[in-house]
């Protein structure tokens, strides 16, 4: 298949495919007329790249998965180098989650403080709450 068909099947652009080719992620095969040619293996490579990019992997982090597929493995994550990238990405995500949990705790504390301050600034204090649900009596 030609580059336009591959781009359509992969849900991307020919420009992106040329960029991947320039980065060595997509093979640069040519027919006798000099046109780029691709096959089903290339569709699988692009599906792997797209999935990883959707997960937040940068383009270079996809390389071990692509190389694994190009080496003939049925899945891009069946090679040791791919597993190492997964481990690194999980550690990175765990660190980000920890940071976000810390920020969330600070925001929750600020909200609690601000609500108390807002209630204290209302003349007569906070409005009484009816036990049957709702404010006021």
Q: What is the pLDDT of residues 77-114, one digit of tens each?
A: 999 999 999 999 999 999 999 999 999 999 999 999 99
Which residue range forms the structural domain that includes residue 82? 3-120
Overall pTM surpassing 0.85 (yes/no): no
Q: Is residue 125 part of a domain?
A: no
Calpha distance 119→115 (Å, rounded): 6
Q: Which residues contact 27 (CB under 8 A, 6 or more apart)?
A: 21, 42, 70
Q: Is residue 13 part of a domain?
A: yes
Contact 29, 37 (CB under 8 A): yes
Q: Is residue 25 part of a domain?
A: yes
Q: Is residue 80 part of a domain?
A: yes
CATH number at residue 37: 1.10.1660.10
Q: Is residue 130 part of a domain?
A: no
Q: How many domains are there within the chain? A: 1
């Amino acid at each position: 298949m030609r580059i336009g068909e591959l781009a359509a099947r992969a849900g991307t652009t020919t420009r992106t495919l040329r960029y991947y080719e320039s980065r060595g992620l997509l093979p640069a095969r040519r027919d006798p007329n000099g046109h780029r040619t691709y096959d089903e293996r290339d569709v699988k490579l692009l599906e792997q790249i797209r999935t990883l990019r959707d997960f937040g992997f940068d383009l270079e982090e996809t390389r071990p998965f692509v190389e694994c597929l190009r080496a003939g493995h049925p899945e891009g994550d069946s090679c040791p180098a791919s597993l190492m990238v997964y481990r690194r990405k999980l550690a990175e995500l765990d660190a980000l989650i920890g940071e976000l949990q810390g920020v969330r705790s600070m925001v929750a504390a600020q909200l609690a403080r601000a609500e108390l301050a807002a209630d204290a600034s209302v003349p007569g204090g906070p409005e009484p709450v009816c036990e049957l649900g709702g404010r006021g009596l």
